[in-house]
Amino acid sequence: MMKALVLTAYNKFAMEEVPIPLIKDDEVLVHVKAVGICGSDVHGMDGSTGRRQPPIIMGHEASGIIESVGQNVSGWKAGDRVTFDSTIYQLSDWYSRKGLYNLSDNRIVIGVSCNEFRRDGAFASYVAVPQHILYKIPDNVSFEHAAMVEPIAVALHAVNLTDLSLNDSVLLGGAGMIALFIIQLLKLSGCNPIMAFDLDQDRLNLALKLGASHVFKADSENIIEEIKKLTHNRGADIGFEVVGIAPVLKTVIEGVRKGAGITLVGNISPNVELPLQTIVTRQLKLQGSCAICGEYETALDLISRNMIKIDPLISAIVPLEEGPSWFQRLYNHEPGLMKVILQP
Ligand SMILES: [Zn+2]
């Protein structure tokens, strides 16, 4: 048996003794050392997304030590320090074979239960993971930092999909976790100026600390004017929308120059109204970015080489047992609260 933090009903958690997961021949059993609470876990706990149907052990941003391996596992052994992709994809899928595994059909997300699938996650002492989604953690990277690889890889995927050049100016709508990693990656890529807007002043302060050159309160009136002043009166070369709501997208569209590309990462709203004529006549390119497609190794390498700052984004590292109260604080949108990492 093992301990696990179980979502037993919507908005209700319990620490329970549950059986240690059985591994299949191609899976390993990971002894979980650190696991982050994801925004999607917080949004999912009240039933509003339909993707955390109780009872479920959530948690997909995790790291740990391999405890045991299935009989068909090769290249991994007990004692290896690992992290893993948040999704389990089929290697035989048409998209996977094209190198687009993030778009493959019938992907399963670890720690998610919806109408299509149910897979227990890492808010527990142990989690079962197929070998093809494992990544080795560099020796100098802590388990807590390795548990942050998933959001960094999401940011990296968005940046990799964006056509950018040295010294390009960038405008970001939103300064949450993913945006703060995108800002750091853009800084590494030589972008300038890097401009971000958000409603939350704490996040804007963090954005400045992590590489943004200019930040704006989202409700101030002259954002577009300010952006124009910083970009030869043209608008930014590149835009990122990292919230997923109409007013943010609108400001990003208005804040980029003609011919600019905008990468869309946020997707809180299923539908938003688009200023079609503006997009067509200003010849803008909209690029969606979904999850991660192989960026884990690079993300781990950047962490190992100290190229990405993680600590300012970790609000707390606490025992698994304290999970419920931190879930509640995240659910209440406590100001300044970013990533909470649990230790089973
Ligand atoms: Zn996540």
Element (H, E) at 229: helix 223-230
pLDDT at 336: 85
Mean pLDDT of 320-336: 96
Q: What single DSSP character describes residue 49?
A: S
Cα separation of 7 and 144, whole Å? Answer: 23
The percent of residues in the chain predicted with pLDDT above 70, rounded, is 100
* Cα→Cα distances 324→120, 304, 320, 331, Å: 17, 31, 9, 10
pTM score, whole prediction: 0.95
Centre of ligand 1 from the C-alpha of residue 228, in Å: 34
> In angstroms, what is the span from residue 151 Cα to ligand 1's centroid?
6
Split at pLDDT 50, 70, 90, the class of 318 is very high
Q: Could you tell me the distance, in angstroms and rounded to a whole number, from the CA of residue 110 to the centre of ligand 1?
A: 10
> pLDDT above 90 covers what percent of the chain?
97
pLDDT average, residue stretch 64-85 = 98
Give the distance (Å) from ligand 1 centre to CA of residue 168.
29
Q: What is the pLDDT of residue 335?
A: 87
What confidence tens digit (pLDDT) does each residue in 301-315 have? Answer: 999 999 999 999 999
Q: Are the C-beta atoms of residues 236 and 170 closer than 8 Å to each other?
A: yes
Compute the distance between CA of residue 242 and CA of residue 174 in angstroms, rounded to an integer. Answer: 5
Confidence of residue 179 (pLDDT cuts 50, 70, 90): very high
Q: What distances in angstroms separate CA 98 from CA 16, 94, 122, 154, 257, one per listed residue?
A: 42, 6, 29, 19, 33
pLDDT for the residue numbered 326: 98
pLDDT tens per residue across span 253-269: 999 999 999 999 998 88
The strand pairing partners of 13, in sequence order, are 7
pLDDT in the model for residue 268: 86
- Asked if 66 and 72 touch (Cβ cutoff 8 Å), the reply is no
Taking the centre of ligand 1 as the mean of its atom positions, its distance from the CA of residue 38, in whole angstroms, is: 4
Question: Radius of gyration over alpha carbons of the chain, in Å?
Answer: 20
Q: Which two tokens stand for residue 184?
A: 């750091």
112 Cα–ligand 1 center, Å: 11
**Helix 296-304 crosses helix 149-160 at what angle (to 10 degrees)?**
110
Q: How far away, in angstroms, is 111 Cα from ligand 1 center?
A: 10
How far, in Å, from the CA of 339 to the mean position of ligand 1?
11
Ligand 1 centre distance from Cα of residue 62 (Å): 10
Nearest to 222 by CA among 197, 201, 204: 197
Mean local confidence (pLDDT), 184-201: 97
Tens digits of per-residue pLDDT, 151-176?
A: 999 999 999 999 999 999 999 999 99
Say how many Å lie between the CA of residue 275 and the centre of ligand 1: 30
Q: Angle at Cα 219 formed by Cα 231 and Cα 203, nearest 5°?
A: 80
Query: How far does the chain reach from its first CA to its final CA, in angstroms?
Result: 14
In the reported structure, the alpha carbon of residue 109 is separated from the centroid of ligand 1 by a whole-number distance in angstroms of: 10
Q: At what angle do helices 201-209 and 177-188 cross, to 10 degrees?
A: 20
In this structure, which amino acid lies at residue 281? Answer: T
What's the chain's average pLDDT?
97
How far is residue 342's CA from residue 325's CA, in Å, rounded to a whole number?
12
CA 135 to chain centre: 17
Structure tokens at 60: 């997909």
- pLDDT tens by residue, 28-55: 999 999 999 999 999 999 999 999 999 9
CA–centroid distance, residue 226 to ligand 1 (Å): 33
How does DSSP assign 71-100, residue by residue? TT--S--TT-EEEE-SEE--TTSHHHHTT-
279: CA distance to ligand 1 center in Å?
A: 31
Contact 1, 20 (CB under 8 A): yes
The letter for the amino acid at 50 is: G
pLDDT score, position 44: 93
